[in-house]
């Protein structure tokens, strides 16, 4: 009965976790189970590879996910899964840590990579530390072994209509001393570059402050925000301090980062290393940023930027 | 809970947790992809400064008391002075030479044992995570061990009688929640801007009381639940595919981005 | 010998560093460009207890030792030499004379506001015809009943335009000559007969306000006499001993900033396919810079430590001042060299550092005057 459990705040991440979950379950030799609170979601989990789904009762309007902690922990005590994977959204992280606290379990946070060590009988996780300067490999001891995984670390598991699986309904009612009084949606915050899916970063190589407008336009096209390197804010005062990206500024983890005239000093690159795709445009072919970029163009921003705007504008239509 | 003479506004006793960490700005990459820690300095973990600041702001608004607590080795005394210079009236120093490179399960267990039966509190504040490991576990774990509710990633805290009204971050935006005291809250860095201690505050820090708690004062043992198998410098190198600086090159770049699903 | 700063001293340095990064760095270039007195920063320094560091709590000073104060001056000067100097002149040359030579009433009335941020201090000794040659002064101070009347012109008065409390020197007994003829008086702003004269447009430390002060039948009560008549030169020289430690610290701060900038630039400037930090010539320049900044730091700290121990420190303060000033001028220039053309342009900190550095060789006793002091001491 013991197995690999997955838990996520959103269905998309459930599907991602089922992917790595299936791999781990195979290595450990156990079943894969998912937790959710919605019947349609439960069906999707089964279709994406879960052997079993635990279906929790729905929350009342003033309850949050924390109302499930006690229930999940109790079940974990009886079943003692090998591994519990939780998607590290804000609530997911809290939930996972509290579960770990209740179960006295070891937990690896924000793992970039997971694998099972058959010899040690433990989960090996890779994660960043020291503000991104280092990569730590941790091994979880005891049972269960808990790990949180950032959204989009894994691809969504493949879907198969034919897949069967068990649905286990949980009857205990969720409860929590915390009451949600109000929910507010995020307004589109300009300059909240830490949450942006895409970031255009402006560096010293941008000669004219007027070109900032083009950078903003580019950011708008890719659905992102504009950030900058420290000299742009601190020395040239073209942009506010809180848009600085780097060691002493913001650390960002966008899907796409485009550096315009950014040389790529280490203090800046540390802030961008987690970007999924890094693009750079710079006149200096020896600029360090190219070593840390997936795609680069050695060229003059005055020529390249308008071309970029045109091409991306075209595909976005 | 201290009952205010004024009647309705309660004055909470606040305990804020801080960690004395390696200042990552001083870490360098050594040979063979190892991390070079030879010139590192230490600091109070950045988000813990937000926690201490929030405790002080709450005290300024609602009264009560603020104490700081930390776990470390016996010579980590500079952190105590730093923390006390930021406002708390006293500090608890849980120390032992073995308290080095603790992992979150241990930290939470030690804190819980140090607090239970020894320190009166209404509210415990923690940073959302530490700037060295950033595991973001200690706050929630500690709450569970103490059997109190936990709110994480808070951006605003208000005391309303014997409960707190807290605004916390979610993936979609914000939630306003009500939670009874005692409770534990982890704060997001957006919640405030930590004050820069003035000279007088720094000089006064050495005169504030520090209560030491040793390993022998605690039940123990504190076994690690995770083990670090290895640490290496993060590698920044990537693909490095270059495109020509003309229309064709830009077009090819955009196509590659599309294929990657980045557009 | 304990070469380590105490934890408290390290925290003080850290606090000043944070203060400077938060409030001074963002405006340093602008206040230099516009010769603007950073009033808001000085007020904040005062509010947070930084403007009367080495003076006792009974006058609302922070009661630190002189070493701690000097470290704070270095750290502030690292961000902006002008701001560091404003603090140093206020603390050492204005508050200093009142603390060391003033009576209880004077300390309560004048030292307290200088320490708690309520007032900015200034020091008016130098005259158009009397720089190193203090005895060539022509300011006359005549007794008139229970008052004294000051007539004369002072120049290069730092904090002159914005000062609230001035320490002014002049002849009360010209015939008695230098060591016995001058006296020092406390003159508060707004005293009739005292006016701020022409402002100086300077090469460097431009945010520090420097002006002439004109005294025409300026009447001050006898209660404002510092010490006794005739103690003027002694008060001036004593104040310089302290002030020099501050200037040495300021110079080290400037040199440290030059080093910081040079290291950062050398690592990122790529020529001939590699960062210039890989070139031996640049490496040696930076090595020398680092070595001499370290040496300078120990020199001013030693002088401060001697003072804190109650030991004689005049020679060491002079040595620190002359050496650190010449060191920082040299290395600020090297820093510009490392930056190449960019170092010569506005927008790069080293351009300002080089201009700021020069004055440290001149004020509070020129390098030549320092050498006289040292030689006089060593060849005794």
Q: Could you read off the pLDDT of C109-129 as tens digits, one per residue?
A: 999 999 999 999 999 999 999
Inter-chain residue contact A295 with B239, CB threshold 8 Å: yes
Instruction: Give the range among A105-114, A266-275, B124-133, C365-374 with minimum mean pLDDT.
Output: A266-275
If you search the block for the tokens 């401060």, which residue do you land on? Answer: C304
Instruction: Give the range among A208-222, B236-250, C339-353 with minimum mean pLDDT.
Output: B236-250
Reply yes or no on whether the pLDDT at C291 is more than 70: yes
DSSP, collapsed to helix, strand or coil, labels residue C24 as: helix
Inter-chain residue contact A178 with B149, CB threshold 8 Å: yes
Each residue's pLDDT tens digit in chain A (317 positions)? 579 999 999 999 999 999 999 999 999 999 999 999 999 999 999 999 999 999 999 999 999 999 999 999 999 999 999 999 999 999 999 999 999 999 999 999 999 899 999 998 999 999 988 877 889 999 999 999 999 998 878 889 999 887 779 999 999 999 999 999 999 986 554 556 887 889 999 999 998 898 999 999 999 999 899 999 988 887 788 988 778 898 667 778 899 999 999 988 877 887 887 888 999 999 888 788 888 899 999 999 989 999 999 999 998 87
Our CA-based measurement puts residue B260 at a distance from the nearest CA of chain A, in whole angstroms, of: 8
C66-113 residue pLDDT tens: 999 999 999 999 999 999 999 999 999 999 999 999 999 999 999 999
Reply yes or no on whether the pLDDT at C47 is more than 90: yes
Q: List CB contacts (< 8 A) between A268 and chain C.
A: none
Residues 6+ apart with CB under 8 A from A146: A83, A84, A85, A86, A96, A99, A100, A103, A105, A106, A107, A108, A140
Mutate to test the interface with C, among B196, B201, B206 (most CBs of C within 10 A): B196
What confidence score (pLDDT) does residue A267 get?
73
Q: Is A40 near chain B, with CB under 8 Å?
A: no
Of B227, B250, B257, the CB nearest to A277: B257
CB-based contact A99:A113 (threshold 8 Å): no
Of C11, C47, C49, the CB nearest to B81: C11
Whole-number Å distance between alpha carbons of A178 and A176: 5
Strand partners, B95: B72, B214
Inter-chain residue contact B249 with A297, CB threshold 8 Å: yes
Inter-chain residue contact A130 with B27, CB threshold 8 Å: yes
Inter-chain residue contact A292 with B236, CB threshold 8 Å: yes
Judged by CB atoms within 8 Å, which residues 76-95 of A form the interface with B? Answer: 89-91, 93-94
Our CA-based measurement puts residue C135 at a distance from the nearest CA of chain B, in whole angstroms, of: 39
At B168, phi and psi to the nearest 5? Answer: -130, 155
Our CA-based measurement puts residue A29 at a distance from the nearest CA of chain B, in whole angstroms, of: 22
What confidence score (pLDDT) does residue A274 get?
80
What confidence score (pLDDT) does residue B5 get?
40
The pLDDT mean for chain B works out to 92
Inter-chain residue contact C347 with A236, CB threshold 8 Å: yes
What confidence score (pLDDT) does residue B1 get?
47
Our CA-based measurement puts residue B56 at a distance from the nearest CA of chain A, in whole angstroms, of: 24
CB-based contact A285:A291 (threshold 8 Å): no
Inter-chain residue contact B198 with C49, CB threshold 8 Å: yes
Our CA-based measurement puts residue B170 at a distance from the nearest CA of chain C, in whole angstroms, of: 30
Q: What residues of C are annotated to the active site?
A: 364
Pull the structure tokens for residue C248: 């040495």
Q: List CB contacts (< 8 A) between A266 and chain B.
A: 236
Inter-chain residue contact B196 with C47, CB threshold 8 Å: no
B184-196 residue pLDDT tens: 999 998 899 999 9
Reply yes or no on whether the pLDDT at B6 is more than 70: no
Searching chain A, which residue's CA lies closest to the CA of residue C265?
A: A265
Of C10, C22, C62, the CB nearest to B199: C62
What confidence score (pLDDT) does residue A190 get?
54
Whole-number Å distance between alpha carbons of C283 and A257: 34
By DSSP bridging, strand B65-72 and strand B90-95 are parallel
Q: List CB contacts (< 8 A) between A265 and chain C.
A: 267-268
Q: List CB contacts (< 8 A) between A261 and chain C.
A: none
Q: Could you tell me which chains touch chain C, where touching means 3 or more CB pairs under 8 A?
A: A, B
What confidence score (pLDDT) does residue C269 get?
86
Reply yes or no on whether the pLDDT at C209 is more than 60: yes
Reply yes or no on whether the pLDDT at B4 is more than 60: no
C295-314 residue pLDDT tens: 999 999 999 999 999 999 99
C181-203 residue pLDDT tens: 999 999 999 999 999 988 899 99
Q: List CB contacts (< 8 A) between A288 and chain C.
A: 268
Whole-number Å distance between alpha carbons of A44 and B74: 54
Q: Is A220 near chain B, with CB under 8 Å?
A: no
Q: List CB contacts (< 8 A) between C69 and chain B.
A: none
Searching chain A, which residue's CA lies closest to the CA of residue C273?
A: A286
Searching chain A, which residue's CA lies closest to the CA of residue B239?
A: A294
Inter-chain residue contact B202 with C12, CB threshold 8 Å: yes
Q: Could you tell me which chains touch chain A, where touching means 3 or more CB pairs under 8 A?
A: B, C
CB-based contact B157:B139 (threshold 8 Å): no
Our CA-based measurement puts residue A158 at a distance from the nearest CA of chain C, in whole angstroms, of: 46
What confidence score (pLDDT) does residue B29 get?
84
Inter-chain residue contact A297 with B142, CB threshold 8 Å: no
**Pairs of CB atoms within 8 A across A/C:** 15
Inter-chain residue contact A100 with B240, CB threshold 8 Å: no
What confidence score (pLDDT) does residue B10 get?
63
In C80-164, which ranges are continuous DSSP H helix? Answer: 81-88, 96-101, 104-106, 112-115
Angle subtended at Cα A44 by Cα A42 and Cα A48, rounded to the nearest 5 degrees: 120
What confidence score (pLDDT) does residue B225 get?
96
At A220, phi and psi to the nearest 5? Answer: -60, -40
Whole-number Å distance between alpha carbons of C194 and B220: 73
Searching chain C, which residue's CA lies closest to the CA of residue A266?
A: C268
Angle subtended at Cα A275 by Cα A271 and Cα A279, rounded to the nearest 5 degrees: 100
B49-77 residue pLDDT tens: 999 999 999 999 999 999 999 999 999 99
Residue B2, judged by CB atoms within 10 A of its CB (0-12, 13-18, 19+), counts as: middle
Inter-chain residue contact B27 with A185, CB threshold 8 Å: no
CB-based contact A214:A237 (threshold 8 Å): no
Residues 6+ apart with CB under 8 A from B174: A183, A184, A186, B155, B167, B168
Inter-chain residue contact B179 with A110, CB threshold 8 Å: no
Helices first, then strands: H and E counts in chain C: 14, 10
Identify the band that residue B2 occupies on the pLDDT scale cut at 50, 70 and 90: very low
Reply yes or no on whether the pLDDT at B94 is more than 60: yes
Our CA-based measurement puts residue A170 at a distance from the nearest CA of chain B, in whole angstroms, of: 22
B198-225 residue pLDDT tens: 999 999 999 999 999 999 999 989 999 9
Mutate to test the interface with B, among A133, A179, A269 (most CBs of B within 10 A): A133
Inter-chain residue contact B198 with C10, CB threshold 8 Å: no
Of B81, B198, B206, the CB nearest to C48: B198
Residues 6+ apart with CB under 8 A from A74: A172
Inter-chain residue contact A107 with B256, CB threshold 8 Å: no
Q: List CB contacts (< 8 A) between B229 and chain A.
A: 124, 137-139
Whole-number Å distance between alpha carbons of C251 and C254: 5
If you search the block for the tokens 């996972």, which residue do you land on? Answer: A96
Reply yes or no on whether the pLDDT at B235 is more than 80: no
CA nearest to C303, candidates C251, C227, C376, C234: C251
What confidence score (pLDDT) does residue B3 get?
43
The pLDDT mean for chain C works out to 96
Of B196, B198, B206, the CB nearest to C8: B206
Searching chain A, which residue's CA lies closest to the CA of residue B245?
A: A299
Mutate to test the interface with A, among C260, C268, C347, C352 (most CBs of A within 10 A): C268
By DSSP bridging, strand C270-271 and strand A3-7 are unpaired
Q: How many CB atoms neighbour CB A167 within 10 A?
A: 14
Whole-number Å distance between alpha carbons of C222 and B147: 72
Searching chain C, which residue's CA lies closest to the CA of residue A289?
A: C268
Q: Could you tell me which chains touch chain B, where touching means 3 or more CB pairs under 8 A?
A: A, C
């Amino acid at each position: 009965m013991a197995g690999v459990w997955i838990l996520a705040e959103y269905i998309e991440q459930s599907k991602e976790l089922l992917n790595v979950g299936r791999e781990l379950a195979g290595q450990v030799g156990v079943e894969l189970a998912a937790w959710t609170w919605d019947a349609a979601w439960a069906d999707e989990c089964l279709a994406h590879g879960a052997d079993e789904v635990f279906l929790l009762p729905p929350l009342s309007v003033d309850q949050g996910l924390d109302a499930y902690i006690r229930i999940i922990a109790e079940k974990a005590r009886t079943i003692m899964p090998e591994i519990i994977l939780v998607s590290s959204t804000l609530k997911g992280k809290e939930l996972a840590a509290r579960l770990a606290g209740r179960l006295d379990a070891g937990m690896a946070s924000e793992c970039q990579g997971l694998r099972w060590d058959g010899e040690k009988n433990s989960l090996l996780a890779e994660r960043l530390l020291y503000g991104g300067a280092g990569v730590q490999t941790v091994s979880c001891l005891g049972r269960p072994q808990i790990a949180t995984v950032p959204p989009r670390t894994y691809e969504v598991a493949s879907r198969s209509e034919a897949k069967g699986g068990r649905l286990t309904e949980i009857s205990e009612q969720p409860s929590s001393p915390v009451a949600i009084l109000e929910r507010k949606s995020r307004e589109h915050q300009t300059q909240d570059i830490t949450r942006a899916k895409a970031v255009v970063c402006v560096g010293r190589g941008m000669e004219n402050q007027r070109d900032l407008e083009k950078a903003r336009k580019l950011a708008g096209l890719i659905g992102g925000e504009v950030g900058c390197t420290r000299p742009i804010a601190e020395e040239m005062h073209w942009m506010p301090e809180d848009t600085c990206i780097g060691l002493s500024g913001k650390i960002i983890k966008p899907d796409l980062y485009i550096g315009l005239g950014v040389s790529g000093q280490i203090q800046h690159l540390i802030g961008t290393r987690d970007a999924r795709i890094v693009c750079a445009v710079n006149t200096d072919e020896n600029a360090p940023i190219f070593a840390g970029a997936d795609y680069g163009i050695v060229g003059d921003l005055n020529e390249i930027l308008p071309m970029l705007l045109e091409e991306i504008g075209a595909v976005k239509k | 809970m201290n009952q205010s003479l004024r009647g309705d506004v309660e004055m909470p006793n606040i305990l804020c947790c801080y960690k004395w960490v390696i200042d990552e700005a001083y870490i360098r990459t050594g040979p063979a992809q190892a991390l070079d820690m030879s010139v590192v300095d230490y600091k109070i973990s950045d988000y813990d400064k937000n926690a201490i600041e929030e405790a002080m702001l709450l005290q300024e608004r609602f009264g009560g008391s603020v104490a700081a607590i930390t776990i470390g080795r016996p010579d980590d005394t500079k952190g105590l002075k730093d923390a006390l210079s930021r406002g708390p009236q006293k500090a608890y120093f849980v120390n032992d030479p073995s308290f080095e490179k603790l992992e979150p399960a241990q930290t939470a267990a030690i804190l819980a044992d140090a607090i239970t039966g020894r320190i009166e509190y209404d509210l415990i504040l923690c940073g959302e995570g530490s700037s060295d490991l950033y595991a973001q576990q200690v706050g929630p774990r500690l709450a569970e061990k103490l059997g109190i509710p936990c709110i994480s990633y808070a951006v605003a805290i208000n005391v309303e009688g014997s409960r707190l009204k807290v605004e916390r971050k979610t993936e979609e935006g914000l939630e306003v929640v009500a939670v009874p005291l005692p409770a534990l809250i982890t704060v997001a860095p957006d919640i405030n801007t930590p004050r820069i201690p003035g000279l007088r505050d720094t000089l006064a820090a050495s005169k504030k009381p520090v209560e030491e708690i040793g390993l022998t004062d605690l039940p123990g043992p504190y076994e690690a639940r995770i083990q670090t198998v290895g640490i290496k410098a993060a590698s920044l190198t990537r693909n490095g595919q270059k495109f020509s600086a003309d229309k064709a090159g830009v077009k090819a770049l955009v196509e590659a981005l599309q294929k990657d699903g980045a557009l | 010998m304990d070469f380590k700063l105490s934890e408290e001293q390290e925290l003080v340095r850290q606090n000043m560093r944070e203060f400077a990064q938060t409030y001074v760095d963002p405006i340093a270039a602008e206040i230099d460009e516009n010769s603007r007195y950073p009033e808001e920063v000085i007020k904040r320094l005062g509010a947070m207890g930084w403007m009367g560091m080495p003076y006792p709590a009974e006058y609302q000073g922070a009661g630190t030792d002189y070493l701690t104060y000097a470290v704070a001056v270095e750290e502030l000067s690292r961000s902006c030499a002008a701001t560091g100097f404003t603090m140093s002149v206020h603390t050492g040359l204005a508050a200093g004379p009142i603390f060391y030579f003033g009576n209880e009433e004077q300390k309560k009335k004048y030292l307290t506001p200088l320490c708690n941020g309520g007032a900015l201090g200034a020091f008016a000794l130098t005259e158009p015809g009397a720089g190193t040659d203090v005895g060539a002064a022509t300011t006359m101070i005549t007794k008139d009943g229970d008052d004294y009347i000051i007539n004369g012109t002072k120049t290069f008065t730092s904090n002159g335009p914005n000062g609230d409390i001035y320490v002014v020197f002049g002849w009360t007994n010209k015939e008695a000559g230098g060591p016995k003829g001058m006296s020092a008086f406390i003159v508060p702003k707004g005293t009739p007969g005292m006016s701020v004269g022409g402002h100086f447009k300077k090469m460097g430390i431009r945010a520090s306000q420097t002006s002439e002060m004109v005294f025409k039948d300026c009447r001050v009560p006898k209660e404002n006499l510092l010490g006794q008549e005739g103690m003027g030169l002694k008060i001036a020289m004593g104040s310089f001993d302290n002030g020099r430690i501050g200037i040495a610290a300021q110079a080290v701060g400037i040199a440290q900033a030059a080093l910081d900038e040079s290291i950062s630039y050398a690592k990122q400037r790529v020529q001939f396919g590699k960062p210039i930090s890989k070139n031996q010539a640049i490496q040696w320049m930076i090595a020398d810079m680092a070595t001499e900044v370290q040496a300078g730091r120990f020199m001013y700290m030693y002088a401060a430590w001697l003072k804190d121990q109650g030991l004689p420190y005049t020679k060491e303060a002079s040595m620190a001042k002359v050496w650190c000033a010449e060191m920082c001028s040299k290395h600020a220039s090297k820093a510009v060299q490392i930056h190449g053309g960019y170092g010569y342009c506005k927008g790069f900190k080293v351009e300002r550092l080089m201009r700021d550095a020069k004055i440290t060789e001149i004020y509070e006793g020129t390098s030549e005057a320092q050498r006289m002091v040292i030689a006089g001491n060593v060849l005794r």
